[in-house]
Structures are given as C-alpha cells and as structure tokens.
Amino acid sequence: MLIIKNLKAKIKTSEGDKQILKGINLTVNAGEIHAIMGPNGSGKSTLASVLTGREGYDVTEGEVLYDGKDLLDLDPEERAREGIFLAFQYPIEIPGVSNVNFLKTAINEIRKSKGEEPMSSVEFLKVMKEKAKLVDIDPAMLSRYVNVGFSGGEKKRNEIFQLAMLEPKLSILDETDSGLDIDALKIVANGVNQLKSDKNAFIVITHYQRLLNYIVPDFVHVMYEGRIVKSGGKELALELEENGYEFINGIKENAEA
C-alpha cells in the first residue's frame, strides 16, 4: 500500500532550511498496523506532514509510492480522497464551521471525486450517530464548531470520529494517545480496533508503549534524528519502554559504528 524509499526532507524556516528527515525507509501493507516510536523531535510529525502534503517542507531525495502512484505529486485534498487520513497531534479549531457541515462537505467532495452521488442528509445523520457511538462522542457536540471549546481529550476523540466517518485506507495517528486518560485511551483504541480490516492500514505514532497494549502493532519502528534506527515486532515497544533513552543511544552508537 505504502512504500517509502530513502525519504529526505527539509523544513523551511525563517532562519533557513533544516534537514529533518534523513532517509526514511518503510513499507506498509494492507491489514497491518505499524507503530513509530521515538523521542520528541526525532521527526515523527514531520514524516506525517510530508505524507499528507503539508506546505513548508522540501523533499530533497527519495520517493513515496501509494498504491503504486507517486504520492508526493498529489495535493493534500487529493491524498485524502485517495484514502489517506491524519489524526493530528494538535487538532485545529475552526470557529464558525460546524462539525456536521465540515464532515458533510468532506464526504460529499470525496464522493464527487469518485463520481459518486452525494450522501443524503438522512443517511449522513444515521452514519454520524453510529460512528459517534463508536468513540463515545455526544452527538450534541457535533453541531458545535470544529474543536472549538473541546477539551484535549475531546479533540483527540473527534479526530478518531472523523477517521471513522471518512473510512480511509491508510490512517496516520500522530500521538493520539497523549493527553488521554486511560478510559479515553481505551475508547480510542477500541474505535481503531473496530475500524481495522484486512483492507486498511494504520501508522500509529506514539512515544509511550501504553497505547500499544490496546492497539497491538504488527511492527514497531524506532525513529531517531530523522531515521528509522530499528524495526521489530511488538516486543520492541516493551524493550524501549524498559530501557528508555539509553537503549536508543545504544542503537545510535551501533548505527554509527
């Protein structure tokens, strides 16, 4: 589904360009869950931004193939229509735009791009109620403005709710667990587990092992200073949790040796 080859990217800042991604290699197949772990600042969110087409980054080397097509050639909205979804680390508030209107516009634009008829209001409301239940969101919240006045946890749940509504093929969850208490974490994980199938895939970015008790990954990758320095099965997350930064330093020394 997704093949990332030697991806290098810079961020454009007012003080000049800064190389963040220094050669990422990653392959994600349908039906898989990949966890990407690593300390703050290692480039996890940057990878998510580059994959979803956020402005302000320069890809300097490498390529990303999504279903065999060059992903980096597409606009953000085209990527979304092709089935890529990002649950934001910091969801954006949009005053004046209701959740309902927002999602209805999104769903119908995605449908239109596929030559499908728009979803009827009745059907939309029905689907919305179902999916709201999945992540335990009060339907009353959905008539409110997108993320405005939502608590940190509500914002994260709203991301997963949007994911459930849009039914993407490849979902990237960027630290959806941070700021969630254990109950909310279970709700979010339960939502993801119900949505997962052999046709879709998830990239779960986190720096705590905790979430991975509930969303069990097939692969765990450790990212450090813009590179994936180690990959393994779910037991790698436990190792990392136990040994912390020293463990990473060890990896780093090995990588550099």
Partner 1 sequence: MENNLKENKTDKDLKQKLVEEFKSMESKLNGEASGNFHKIRKDAIAVFDKLGFPVKKMEEWKYTNLNPLLNHDFHYSSDRKQSELKKSDIEKYKFESGEKNFLVFVNGVFIEDLSSVISNSENIYVGNITGGRKKYPEIFEKHFSKYADYSDRSLVALNTAFSADGAFVYVKKNTDLKEAVHILHISDAEKENVMLQPRNLFVIEEGGRAEIAEDYYSKGDNFSFTNMVTEVYCGKNSHTGHYKIQNEGDKDYHVGMTQVHQEQDSNYSNTTVSWGGSIIRNDLNAVFDGRNTESHFFGLYLLDGKQHVDNHTLADHKMPDCFSNELYKGILSGHSTGVFNGKIMVREDAQKTNAYQSNGNILLSDDATIYSKPQLEIFADDVKCSHGATSGQLNEDEMFYIKSRGIGDKNAKALLLKAFVSDVIDSIKTDEFREHVENKLEHKLEYILR
Ligand X SMILES: Nc1ncnc2c1ncn2[C@@H]1O[C@H](COP(=O)(O)OP(=O)(O)O)[C@@H](O)[C@H]1O
Within 8 A by CB and 6+ apart from 145, the residues are: 93, 94, 95, 96, 97, 98, 99
C-alpha distances in angstroms, 63 versus 59, 126, 138? 9, 40, 41
Q: How far is the CB of 20 from Mg ion (least distance, A)?
A: 11
Q: How far is the CB of 69 from partner 1 (least distance, A)?
A: 17
Q: Which residue is nearest to Mg ion (CB)?
A: 45
Q: Does 176 bind ligand X (CB under 6 A)?
A: no
Q: How far is the CB of 38 from ligand X (least distance, A)?
A: 6
Q: Does 51 bind partner 1 (CB under 8 A)?
A: no
Q: Which residue has the tokens 């279970």?
A: 186
Report d(CA 214, CA 124) in Å as an integer: 30
**DSSP sequence for 208-246:** -SGGGGTS--SEEEEEETTEEEEEE-THHHHHHHHHHHH
Q: Does 80 bind partner 1 (CB under 8 A)?
A: yes
Q: Does 20 bind ligand X (CB under 6 A)?
A: yes
Q: Which of 169, 174, 168 is nearest to 188 (CA)?
A: 174
- The single residue among 14, 15, 40, 92 that binds partner 1, judged by CB under 8 A, is 92
Report d(CA 133, CA 129) in Å as an integer: 6
Task: Please tell me whether residue 155 adopts helix, strand or coil conformation.
Answer: helix
Q: How many other CB atoms sit within 10 Å of the CB of residue 226?
A: 22
Give the x-and-dash track for 123-162 against partner 1 (CB under 8 A).
Answer: ----------------------x----------------x
User: Which of ligand X, Mg ion, partner 1, none does 46 bind, CB closer than 5 to 8 A by kind?
Assistant: ligand X
Q: Which residue has the tokens 């927002």?
A: 102
Q: Does 40 bind ligand X (CB under 6 A)?
A: yes
Q: Does 146 bind ligand X (CB under 6 A)?
A: no
User: Which of ligand X, partner 1, Mg ion, none does 94 bind, CB closer than 5 to 8 A by kind?
Assistant: partner 1
Q: Does 113 bind partner 1 (CB under 8 A)?
A: yes
Binding site for partner 1 (CB under 8 A): 52-55, 75-77, 79-81, 85-86, 88, 91-92, 94-97, 101-103, 105-107, 109-110, 113, 145, 162, 166
